């Protein structure tokens, strides 16, 4: 179960108090809409026929915490088939000058089959699971998702990490300006992830993927795709168990790709080594450039080759494999069938 935890204050023991505690019949709503100024969000989906909402404060001075909470003007209601939770923080300009600010937690319990839209200006968002579309945006905070199964999944944070255990949907998009992006199992026709400063990792991807980081590594343990593209400006790329067509590009990067089945590969780096692993009986046309080009004898290469270039076929030819590096080696290695 995903949850948010809060530590005690530096100068005293933190205390918590529930300010809003309300519930609704689940039959009254099909959507959750949260738009708050400054709060962490914890959503738990389950089999309950009731929708419950708790808003609490945590801090070492509950009297000042209540004062701070009032400035947010929280409102919780059901309207047009949606549970709507909103706040409007009107005291930010002078309260932020103080040395102490308590935290606010919005906790919501909803049915498994629900759609959710969550927006917080400053806070973390955690959801255990959801069967429905999910849109999350936080300006400053982490996003942690358990399992989500819907048509569309959109996750955005300006400064924070994004972690998803399992996701299925037609379209998946995750973006952070400063943080890591980590997915477990993904099944989606289209998945796009981007971070300006952080690593990108996937345990398994079924579907087309576009993964981009300006400063970080890209690691994919398994990829089955029609067409996928991965790119890093400063970091390494490692992709295992690939079936399909893939383009991997780096500027100052080592690139490692393990091909398991038919498809095409284009791997390019300005400064780094490229290692490509193929089954012994894999068929491909190849074009390789590098300071040191090596092709395993078991791959049955035919064509022209010298120390810095190879152009020809392996096992009679097939899908095109192109690998280029200006400052590094290119090695084609043979797996055991």
Structure tokens at 21: 């505690």
- Nearest CA among 305, 282, 284 for reference residue 295: 305
pLDDT at position 90 is 74
pLDDT at position 65 is 87
Q: What is the DSSP letter of 336?
A: P
Higher pLDDT, 280 or 48: 280
1 — pLDDT class (breaks 50, 70, 90)? very low
pLDDT at position 279 is 94
Higher pLDDT, 252 or 93: 252
pTM for this predicted structure: 0.92
- Per-residue buried b or exposed e for 216-229, using 16+ beta carbons within 10 Å of the residue's own CB: bbbbbbbbbbeebb
CA angle 145–149–153, rounded 5-degree value: 65
Percent of the chain with pLDDT over 70: 93
8 — pLDDT class (breaks 50, 70, 90)? very low
Q: Is the per-residue pLDDT at 182 higher than 50?
A: yes
78 — pLDDT class (breaks 50, 70, 90)? very high
Q: Is the per-residue pLDDT at 138 higher than 60?
A: yes
pLDDT tens digit string along 183-197? 999 999 999 999 999
Q: Is the per-residue pLDDT at 313 higher than 90?
A: yes
Q: Is 5 exposed, middle or buried (0-12, 13-18, 19+ CB in 10 A)?
A: exposed
Strands (E), 131-222: 134-138, 143-149, 152-157, 162-176, 181-195, 200-213, 218-220
- Nearest CA among 177, 143, 113 for reference residue 135: 143
Distance CA 202, CA 204 (A): 6
pLDDT tens digit string along 9-44? 344 588 999 999 999 999 999 999 999 988 999 999
Sign of CA dihedral 113, 114, 119, 120: negative
Q: Are 272 and 249 in contact (CB under 8 A)?
A: no
Q: Are 3 and 87 in contact (CB under 8 A)?
A: no
Q: Strands 309-314 and 115-120, how do they pair?
A: unpaired
pLDDT tens digit string along 211-228? 999 999 999 999 999 999
Q: Is the per-residue pLDDT at 77 higher than 70?
A: yes
5 — pLDDT class (breaks 50, 70, 90)? very low
Please report where in the chains the tokens 């000042």 appear, as a residue. 64
pLDDT at position 23 is 96
The domain spans of the chain are 1-131, 140-198, 206-337
- Nearest CA among 290, 262, 261, 295 for reference residue 274: 290
pLDDT at position 262 is 86
Average per-residue pLDDT for the chain? 92
Average pLDDT estimate for 263-291: 95
Structure tokens at 258: 């393990």
Structure tokens at 144: 């942690």
100 — pLDDT class (breaks 50, 70, 90)? low
pLDDT at position 261 is 84
Q: Is the per-residue pLDDT at 314 higher than 50?
A: yes
Q: Are 246 and 231 in contact (CB under 8 A)?
A: no
Average pLDDT estimate for 137-146: 95
Average pLDDT estimate for 51-75: 92
- Nearest CA among 326, 322, 251, 333 for reference residue 292: 326
Q: Is 135 exposed, middle or buried (0-12, 13-18, 19+ CB in 10 A)?
A: middle
Average pLDDT estimate for 39-56: 94
């Amino acid at each position: 179960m995903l949850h948010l935890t809060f530590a005690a204050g530096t100068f005293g023991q933190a205390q918590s108090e529930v300010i809003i505690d309300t519930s609704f019949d689940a039959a009254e709503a099909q959507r959750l809409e949260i738009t708050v100024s400054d709060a962490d969000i914890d959503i738990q989906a389950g089999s309950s026929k009731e929708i419950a909402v708790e808003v609490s404060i945590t801090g070492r001075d509950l009297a000042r915490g209540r004062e701070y909470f009032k400035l947010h003007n929280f409102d919780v209601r059901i309207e047009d088939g949606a549970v709507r939770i909103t706040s409007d923080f009107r005291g930010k300009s002078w309260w932020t000058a103080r040395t102490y600010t308590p935290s606010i937690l919005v906790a919501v319990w909803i049915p498994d089959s629900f759609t959710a839209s969550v927006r917080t200006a400053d806070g973390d968002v955690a959801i255990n699971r959801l069967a429905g579309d999910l849109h999350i945006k936080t300006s400053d905070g982490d996003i942690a998702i358990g399992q989500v199964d819907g048509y569309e999944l959109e996750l955005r944070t300006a400064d924070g990490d994004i972690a998803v255990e399992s996701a299925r949907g037609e379209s998946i998009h995750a973006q952070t300006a400063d943080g890591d992006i980590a997915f477990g199992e993904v099944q989606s026709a289209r998945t796009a992830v981007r971070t300006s400063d952080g690593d990108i990792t996937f345990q398994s991807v079924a579907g087309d993927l576009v993964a981009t980081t300006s400063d970080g590594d890209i690691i994919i343990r398994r990829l089955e795709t029609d067409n996928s593209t991965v790119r890093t400006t400063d970091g390494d790329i490692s992709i295992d168990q690939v079936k399909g067509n893939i383009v991997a590009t780096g500027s100052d990067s080592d690139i490692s790709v393990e091909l398991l089945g038919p498809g095409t590969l284009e791997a390019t780096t300005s400064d780094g080594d490229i290692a490509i692993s193929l089954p012994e009986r894999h068929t491909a046309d190849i074009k390789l450039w590098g300071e040191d080009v090596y092709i395993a004898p078991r791959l049955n290469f035919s064509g022209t080759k010298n120390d810095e270039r190879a152009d020809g076929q392996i096992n009679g030819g097939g899908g095109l494999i192109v690998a280029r590096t200006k400052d590094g080696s290119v090695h084609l290695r043979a797996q055991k069938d």
